[in-house]
Amino acid sequence: MTTTTPLISTQPLPGQYWHWRGEQIYYVRAGEAKSHRPPLLLIHGFGASTDHWRKNIAELSQEFQVWAIDLLGFGRAAKPAWTYSADLWRAQLHDFITEVIGQPVVMAGNSLGGYAALCVAAEYPESVAGLILLNSAGPFTDSTHPKE
């Protein structure tokens, strides 16, 4: 007798859009809220999107309520002609946590997403219950500091 293990789908999970500063931001939510665990927010790296996490979300959602978001300028999020910076993504992620998720999260960020998550945790520690950095990048040029 042969048994097979079902493969994890590589298809993108269906998501929805959140309007932030007049732009559409794509995100995915999976799993039910757990009273004993904070939600998990997944943040992709440079040149990636929520699809970066497509093979992880199903498994993680068995233990956590999982959120994944496209940073402005990437994936299915809007790509306005703005200056992209750590300041912008920090504000985007913090506003998403407070306006959409509504409670502190464990942030897991890969590469650029790790740096953006670290920026949120440093500036808004009340919004972050934990931090997971995967091959974290940074720092990048900060738009608030003059160039030397």
Phi and psi at residue 107, in whole multiples of 5°? -100, 130
* pLDDT at residue 50, as a whole number: 96
The token duo for 10 is 């590589």
CA–centroid distance for 73 within its chain:
13
**DSSP-based three-state secondary structure for 90:** helix
Q: What is the mean pLDDT of each run of 10 residues along the chain (148 residues)?
A: 57 87 98 95 96 94 97 97 95 99 98 96 98 86 55
What superfamily in CATH does domain 16-134 come from? Alpha/Beta hydrolase fold, catalytic domain (3.40.50.1820)
Q: How far apart are the first and last CA of the chain?
A: 70
DSSP letter for each residue of 101-147: I-S-EEEEEETHHHHHHHHHHHH-GGGEEEEEEES-------TTS--
| pTM for this entry | 0.86
Instruction: Please answer whether residues 63 and 40 qualify as being in contact, where contact means their C-beta atoms are separated by less than 8 angstroms.
Output: no
